[in-house]
Amino acid sequence: MREQVICENLKMGGKISYRTKAAAEKKRRQSREPLWVYECPHGDHFHLTSQPRYRKPEPAPSLRKLRAHLEAIGRTIAAQTRRLAVSEKRLAEELARAEEQKHRAQQAHREELAAITAMTNRIRRV
């Protein structure tokens, strides 16, 4: 098995690759210029770079993880929707009760007024 391969990723422009980190390290030690070894973000091999601190980018989250995350969000939304429905029902009940109390108070006021009017009329007739 050859130690050196060509990176097949087009973005890397056919960059020389090493199958193992050890092979890349060996090449790095032989070089006159300072080089750094890094794992290729596009495959399981290694490259050399003259730019220090090359970092392999964070891998994208798996479809399974994303789906689980979406499902959790969906459950949260469903729970909040249920809570909102309960709150709206309670609010409607309270509004209905308040309306009923207002109606009763108005009725009592009308009765009181009628009683006073009747009393006043009796006094006037006397």
Site string for Zn ion, 58-77 (x = CB under 5 A): --------------------
Shortest distance in whole angstroms from residue 6 CB to Zn ion: 9
Gap between the Cα atoms of 25 and 40, Å rounded: 14
Helices (H) and strands (E) counted in the chain, each on its own, are: 2, 4
Shortest distance in whole angstroms from residue 52 CB to Zn ion: 18
Contact residue for Zn ion among 38, 40, 50, 63 (CB under 5 A): 40
Instruction: Decide if residue 48 touches Zn ion (CB under 5 A).
Output: no
**Closer residue to Zn ion, CB minimum distance, 1 or 126:** 1
Please report the sign of the dihedral spanned by the C-alpha atoms of residue 69, residue 75, residue 81, residue 86: negative
3-state SS, residue 55: coil
